[in-house]
Amino acid sequence: MIAGLMERLRALLFPRRWSSDLDEEMREHLGRETARRIREGLDPEAARREAALAFGGVEKWKEAARDESGARLMGDVSADLRFAVRSLGRNPGFTAAAVGVLAVAIGASTAAFTVVNAVLLRALPYEHPERLVRLFEQNSPTNRWNISTADVQGIRERQRSFDAWGGVSVTEAALSGEGAPEQIVMTRIGAGVFDALGVSAEAGRAVTTADEPAGAPPVVLLSHALATRRFGSPLAALGRSVALDGVTRSVVGVLPTGALDLGGRPAEAWIPLQLAPATRRGPFWMGGIGRLKPGVDLAAARRDLAAVSEGMSGLYADWHDNTARLTPYPLRQTIVGSAEGRLDLFAGAVLLVLLVAIANVATLMLVRASARRPEIAMRITLGATRIRLARLVIAESTVLMAVTVLIAAPLAALGLRFLGSVAPGLPRSAEISLGWESWLFLAAVALSSGALVSLSPVAAVLSSPGRSGMTDTRRAGTTRRAQAVRGTLVAAEFALALPLLLGASLLLNSFLRLTRVDPGFDPSTSLGITIALPSGRYGEVPARQEFFRRALAQARQVPGVLAAGLATEMPPDAGGNDNNFNLVDHPVPAGQSEPTSPWSYVSDGYFEALSIPLVEGRFFTPMDSSAGPPVAVVSLSWQAKYFPGEHALGHELIEGGCYTCPHTTIVGVVGDVKFQGLAGGGDGVYVPLSQSGARTVHLFVKTAAAPAGFVKPMTDALHGLDPDLPLAGEAMSDHLKDALADPGRWTAVLIAFGAAALVLAVMGVFGLLSYVVRQQRREIGVRLALGADPGRVARMVVWRGMRTAGIGIAAGLLLSVMETKWLGSLLYDVTAHDPLTVAVATLVLLAAAVVACLLPGLKAARIRPIEAIAAE
């Protein structure tokens, strides 16, 4: 069998060699036969004749042998392909356009598929991913938050749903010891999380329950990258020690890259989660992760955890919310949830561009097929079968698609890198790479687009009228059906382009509104520097307070500094540091959740540094300390929400559910500042920094000149107090730009897609009309010669194109309705069917279509009758 295959391949791959071998063999044969007959007594001439007679027709047998060799079919195919290459080469413009359009579209869709597959489709890279859940406290469908030490105790005592579970909390820590000090992301993690996820160390061991009691030897696990960076290799790191926030810990294990990312910030060090016995119900500072026992579903786990929550009611004096329940959510959903909407939108946009591209290339192919009708008719007359001609068309598409794939593959890799920079914070980004699934996808898309674009030309060949097509060459390609197909394809391009344009316009509209949002502070005159105090030297609260006092004094001495203040939160994305409170005058009904609001601990000088206006009352002063009576400043929006129609000034509130603490008095009302993103509300409560034990704070400074120039002097001034401090500073205007960068990038991507679709659709209608005008040149010439008004001729052509575009745009409007669901969550201050935006997008597309139709229209009007008729 193998031998037979080799034989066939030889005949196929080296057809000339095969043929000359056969010639030689037959010549040899005839020679021997002639010689035999001469030996039998015939004269050479007669011997040769009789030998030839006995052999039969050399050419006939050779052909028969070729048929039997199995090379015939394959040989035809390779001839077809060679013909296709030549014929594509004769039309470099067409070939380049078709290959370019399809390669970009297919490359982009492969990149999009790769991301969507890695992030959304593939299971989480852990054991039993379907059984993994994340635990939250929740008191309404929209309000869920982290779990507390008390929750961990409650779960430990009562849960029956989990095989393994544990708490995890991501923070930052100052890493010192050997090498330069640096600020790294550190995770406190329970041993149960390793069991639940089935993650083990690549060197050494994971965290175990033996590490969890207070007083256990201090240990740490490092990331592969950190171990390599500090110690050369994971194995070399084992047994060494590092200081984290001033605590010396010995390295007992190294985790493989990406093993515990969980969609959050990738950590570089993990320390055991050690919990002191809970004395109150809050604070809620940990993520909970668990693996359900086999056979336990989410609903059962929810009931089980609800029972755990009910069992805890009344245990803690600080907690009055009887509606909060521990609730499990599928881990996958909590990891990819935020990215899902954007990726769906992105993948949808890419798909639309791909479809537009296919429609576009299909029209190109069809126009080409029509232009070749005389040639096809000639071939049919000369005896070529239609099937054979259809095969030529397919061969052409095959060659076209092969070249396209060769270009699309590197484009996909390029697109993936581009996507990495467009969406830097994508969850599971470590898992994104071009794997076999991507290549399979590319092959499938290329195959189906190849089939789609060759559909219409193949049909055109099969339905070709044959002889009549040759005699009537000028009218070639204008059969009704071919025209209808072309018109439909062009209309489809418009229909697909509109949702893209509309999406781009909506995102742009939303983005522009976002850039005009007042963040509530003056970004042009302020800068912010983040100070993370290591817990070693600043382990005690008084030491931190002392440092803050000196830092403020130091900052205010820098020349050009007009005001300086500290705060725990950096607007506009504070990361959701909310606190619950109750109003003494308007308490929430018993058993209901207390309201929450963004909560900032700020020093004196803070409002002045950020130019936040005072509306009523006063700012904080150095006298507002933990020693004095508790005070708070609230924002205008907060006042409007909780004291509608009243003044909040002088009213009292209860902070964080502490009913035994003295009440907090509102001493000031200030302008709104965005803490929940630029698209968020303006709620805010400020309390004095001295009440906080925070170690990470932001120093804000109002400067007399451009703030960027003050980053260096301010950093130097702070390093004068403590040279080892990790500091990060930038002008607030730059910080604001960062906050806008993400929506800006997505907007740019969609605009690029929308523009591509617009160009393709316009190219489509332009190509269609140019072709029609060229085909009907004679007819138009005759009309003009008979006195037709050139303006009317132009209008006729334009009207014809606009009718096609108009039908497409109308269909596109229907298509756009489906888009609403994807876009809604990404838009700010504009709805997905904002009438003005819809009108603008539609008009842009119509205007582009008019321009595209006008050129062929004018060309038709300028046709000179004599030349057009004489050209026949």
Partner 1 sequence: MPDRDLLQGTLDLMVLKALSLEPMHSWGIGQRIDQFSRDVFSVQQGSLYPALQRMLRKGWIRSEWRMSEHHRRARFYHITRTGRAELKERAAGWARASAAVASILRLRTVP
Given the rule CB under 8 A, which residues bind partner 1?
A: 1-5, 7-8, 21-22, 24-26, 28-29, 32-33, 36, 54-58, 60-62, 64-70
Neighbours of 585 (CB within 10 A): 11
Minimum distance, C-beta of residue 53 to partner 1, in the bound complex (Å): 9
| Helix axis angle, 2-13 to 71-89, nearest 10° | 40
Sign of the four-CA dihedral 725, 731, 734, 740:
positive
Q: Supply the minimum distance, in Å, between the C-beta of residue 47 and partner 1.
A: 14
Name the phi and psi angles at 249, rounded to 5: -125, 145
User: Cβ of residue 39: shortest distance to partner 1, in angstroms?
Assistant: 12
659 in helix, strand or coil? coil
Nearer of residues 22 and 562 to partner 1, judged by Cβ: 22
Q: Which is nearer to partner 1, 56 or 575 (CB)?
A: 56
Q: Is 172 helix (H, G, I), strand (E, B) or coil?
A: strand
> Between the CA atoms of 757, 758, 759 and 764, what dihedral angle is there, to the nearest 10 degrees?
90
- Shortest gap between Cβ of 3 and partner 1 (angstroms)? 5
Minimal distance, residue 348 CB to partner 1, in Å: 51
CA distance 484 to 733: 56
Question: CA-to-CA distance for 390 and 462, rounded, in angstroms?
Answer: 7
DSSP annotation of 519? -
User: Shortest Cβ distance from residue 82 to partner 1 (Å)?
Assistant: 24
219, β-bridge pairs:
250
Residue closer to partner 1, measured from CB, 24 or 157? 24
Region class of 617: left (phi > 0), else alpha (psi between -120 and 50), else beta: left
Sign of the CA dihedral 536, 538, 539, 543? positive
| Complex with partner 1: residue 27 or 586, whichever CB lies closer | 27
Residue type, 311: G
Nearer to partner 1, 58 or 300 (CB): 58
CB of 763: closest distance to partner 1 in angstroms?
Answer: 50
Strands 325-330 and 132-140: antiparallel
Q: Nearest Cα to 664, choosing from 636, 635, 691?
A: 691
Pairing of strands 247-255, 219-223: parallel
Altogether, the residues listed in the chain come to a count of 872
Measured CA to CA, the distance from residue 608 to residue 509 in angstroms comes to: 33
* Torsional sign, CA 82, 84, 90, 94: negative
Closer residue to partner 1 (CB): 26 or 796: 26
Nearer to partner 1, 9 or 817 (CB): 9
Using CA atoms, how far apart are residues 295 and 298, in angstroms rounded to an integer?
A: 10
Q: Which is nearer to partner 1, 66 or 556 (CB)?
A: 66
Helix (H) or strand (E) holding 242: strand 241-244
* 373/470 Cα distance (integer angstroms): 8
Non-local (6+) Cβ contacts of 558 within 8 A are 701, 710, 713, 714, 717
Quick one: 23 or 646, whose CB is closer to partner 1? 23
How far apart are CB 421 and partner 1 at their closest, in Å? 56
Q: Which of 400, 399, 456 is nearest to 77 (CA)?
A: 399
CB of 56 to partner 1, least distance (A): 3
**Are the C-beta atoms of 136 and 326 separated by less than 8 Å?**
yes
CB of residue 4 to partner 1, shortest distance in Å = 3
Nearer of residues 70 and 129 to partner 1, judged by Cβ = 70
By beta-carbon proximity to partner 1, the closer residue of 56 and 709 is: 56
* 3-state DSSP assignment of residue 705: coil
The residue type at 585: D
d(CA 346, CA 358): 18
Alpha helix locations (H) across 14-91? Answer: 15-39, 44-55, 58-69, 71-89
Closer Cβ to partner 1, 69 or 87, answer by number: 69
What amino acid is encoded at 637 in this protein? S
We find the least distance from the C-beta atom of residue 8 to partner 1, in angstroms, to be 6
**At what angle are helices 835-861 and 790-817 packed, to 10 degrees?**
150
Nearer to partner 1, 56 or 662 (CB): 56
Tell me the closest approach of the beta carbon of residue 430 to partner 1, in angstroms. 51
Considering the complex, state which of residue 49 and residue 821 has its C-beta at the smaller distance from partner 1: 49
Rank residues 26 and 785 by Cβ distance to partner 1 and give the closer one: 26
Given a contact cutoff of 8 angstroms between Cβ atoms, the answer to whether 567 and 601 are in contact is: yes
Q: How many CB atoms lie within 10 A of CB 800?
A: 18
For partner 1, the closer CB: 8 or 737: 8
From the CB of 1, what's the least distance to partner 1, in Å?
5
Shortest Å distance, C-beta 73 to partner 1: 12
Shortest CB 385 distance to partner 1, Å = 24
Contact between 533 and 695 (Cβ < 8 Å): yes
Specify whether the CB–CB gap between 652 and 665 falls below 8 A.
yes
Q: Which residues contact 502 (CB under 8 A, 6 or more apart)?
A: 816, 819, 837, 838, 841, 842
Least distance in Å: CB of 485 to partner 1?
Answer: 43
Residue 494 token pair: 């418009």
